[in-house]
Amino acid sequence: MRMIFITCCVLIAAVVAWVGLGEVAASPAVGSATAFLEAHDARVRAVILRQPSDSLTTAEREQVRVLINDAFDFRELARQSLGDVWEARTEAERDEFVDVYRGIIERSNLDMFIRYHRDGGISYTAEKIADDGRAVVLAEVPLKKEKKIISYSLHRPRSDQEWRIYDLAVDGAGTIAGNRRAWTRYISRHSYEKLLESLRKKLARLEEAS
């Protein structure tokens, strides 16, 4: 089912436009979104590059998973992905949806993130801060046979909190817009409950395979 494909491949969804970026300084300002991403990448690479081989121990994979997912705001990702449907849900329903969605993302994209860090490393090329304080940072990942362009959307959940990623686009294909379109269609044809049921089944399959 196409909806499930889009959901489990969180980085491969709809087109995200980007216009008018300024260049990031060679040394990003302390506390900037770019500085946050660079510091986070350094922590991830310290684990991934600990051994020269492509294999990570189970403990190392878990360490990388925790590091990567701690950088994301899954609740904001879920809220924007569901759109108006989110507003109609109770807090308990929202919590459950975030837990299921997070589980799918964690298990679907870990290997890809590891590959990005091991094969090429990420270099940040531009940053823009919107009037509402949210940021978009562009990055390049030069892999062995190709180069990927990544657009990170970040915000601070609260003014006293660190930056968190709430959307990603790889080579122009983003997460929120694609899932929102797919889920809106699916819910209109079936129901929110059916959508959640299908996502639970997807998560169960991923858990069995891991």
The fraction of the chain above a pLDDT of 70, given in percent, is 83
Pairwise CA distance, residues 169 & 150, whole Å: 6
Domain count, the chain: 1
Confidence (pLDDT) at 30:
58
- How many CB atoms within 10 Å of residue 135? 20
Which pLDDT tens digit goes with each residue over 94-140?
999 999 999 998 888 788 778 777 766 688 999 999 999 999 999 98
CATH of the domain at 154: 3.10.450.710
- Which tokens sit at 180? 């929102």
Longest Cα–Cα distance of the chain, Å, equals: 50
Q: Are 89 and 192 in contact (CB under 8 A)?
A: yes
- The predicted-structure confidence for 142-152, as pLDDT tens digits, reads as follows 877 788 898 99
* pLDDT band, residue 27 (cuts 50/70/90): low
Phi, psi of 127 (to 5 degrees): -145, 140
Tell me the CA distances in angstroms from 142 to 16, 109, 119, 163, 172, one per residue in order.
Answer: 21, 18, 8, 25, 16
Element (DSSP H or E) covering residue 153: strand 147-155
| Domain around 130 | 2-209
Q: What pTM, to 2 d.p., does this model score?
A: 0.81
Cβ atoms of 130 and 29 within 8 Å: the answer is no
Residue 75: partners with Cβ closer than 8 Å, 6 or more residues away = 94, 98
Report the alpha-carbon distance of residue 162 to residue 155 in Å, rounded: 8
pLDDT on residue 190: 97
